Amino acid sequence: MKKITFLVFAICLANLAAHSQILKPVTWSYAAKKTGATTATVFIKATIDQGWHLYSQFVKEGGPVKTTFTFPSSGTYGLVGTTTEPKAVTKYESTFKMNVSYFEKSVMFQQKIKLKGKTATVKGSVEFMVCDDKQCLPPEQVDFNIPVK
């Protein structure tokens, strides 16, 4: 009888665990490429699970949380301009009662930098929000360190 009770308990626990998985529909990856003796471009790629979308940096006030990059000041490099992104899909979303711009599948953001030495490590963070057709996940922040050699 104890074996049956344990087996039922184990099945219930496994079923509960399967339904309470933490959703992580975006995976971030990073790279840097020198473009000159004192210049480089940092590449920040978001790979987005099927059915989800990641919002642009240029979402208007009143909409979802836009993707935002933060780079603290550094003695080894300086930012050149702002972080760029490719053309986003723009559609009306009834949830927000406005047109919003977003990316599906993947997106590559780029930030140009000016090096103050031969190498640097670009540190920063990205805050973002993702939604599918049923739900939006709370905004999340991910820190990164990208070596430039």
- Nearest C-alpha neighbor of 131 from the set 141, 140, 122: 140
> What's residue 4's pLDDT?
47
> What's residue 95's pLDDT?
86
Do you know the residue count of the chain? 149
Virtual torsion, Cα 135, 136, 137, 139, nearest 10 deg = -170
Predicted structure pTM score: 0.84
pLDDT band at 22 (very low <50, low <70, confident <90, very high): confident
Average pLDDT, rounded, for the chain:
89
DSSP bridge partners of 28: 46
- Do residues 80 and 39 lie in contact, with contact meaning Cβ atoms separated by under 8 Å? yes
Burial class (CB in 10 A: 0-12, 13-18, 19+), 121: middle
CA distances from 149 to 113, 130, 131 (A): 13, 32, 36
Domains of the chain: 24-148 (2.60.40.1250)
- Do residues 93 and 48 lie in contact, with contact meaning Cβ atoms separated by under 8 Å? no
Q: Please check the confidence at residue 130 and state whether its pLDDT lies above 60.
A: yes
Pull the structure tokens for residue 45.
């790629």
- The more confident residue out of 19 and 113 is 113
